[in-house]
Amino acid sequence: MKSGRADFTQVVTAPAKEGQAARTKTSSGTFEFARPNRFKFIYKKPFEQSIVADGQTLWLYDVDLNQVTARKQAQALGATPAALIASAPDLKALRAEFTLADAPDKDGMEWVLATPKNTDGQLQSIRVGFKAGDKSAGLAALEILDSFGQKSVLTFGAFQVNAAMNAASFQFQPPKGADVIRQ
């Protein structure tokens, strides 16, 4: 699978604190990727935000703040879920950052557990769920557990495998008047 397009829903659950119940936040939008290193998350609800990786730069655009943050993609991704998706066919690159292992089937999906080799990072683990029997084309879910105990679950729907992608789709141009912060 060299490219893909899907709708996504992301549910982030913060752990319960003393005297407080666990809190959840739900976001949704669209996701596109073209391997090896280009992707785009467009968050539509509850707030508009774009995350675009063009192969060199990772662009984050917050519509409400009219602010763009640009970082070198290689430094920004490291052992992140986005790097896992963008590099998935390059097992050598993945194994440099993650320890990969099969995980038990659950919810009609086959799972792979990716544990970052760098234990000082913000991630504890990432579980990648594929439609049963279809690891090459059926990305269905990502479950991300961070070092603070926060869990993010992204579910993908209407997945189009090897969708025709325009290279310009992954080019980001900061909107006129936006504050641009380069890191």
Give the pLDDT of the chain (183 residues) as one tens digit per residue.
Answer: 577 888 999 999 988 888 888 889 999 999 988 877 888 999 999 999 999 999 899 999 999 999 999 999 877 766 566 666 665 555 666 677 788 898 998 888 888 888 888 777 778 888 888 886 655 556 788 898 988 888 999 998 887 777 777 878 899 999 999 999 998
Cα 129 from Cα 159, distance rounded (Å) = 13
Q: Which amino acid is at 25?
A: K
- Taking phi over 0 as left and psi of -120 to 50 as alpha, with beta for the rest, 87 belongs to alpha
- In the chain, the number of structural domains is 1
- Quickly count: other Cβ atoms within 10 Å of residue 78's Cβ: 14
Residue span of the structural domain in which 119 resides? 3-182
Q: Give me the CATH number covering residue 24.
A: 2.50.20.10
The whole-model pTM stands at: 0.79
Query: What is the C-alpha to C-alpha distance for residues 161 and 169, in angstroms, rounded to an integer?
Result: 16
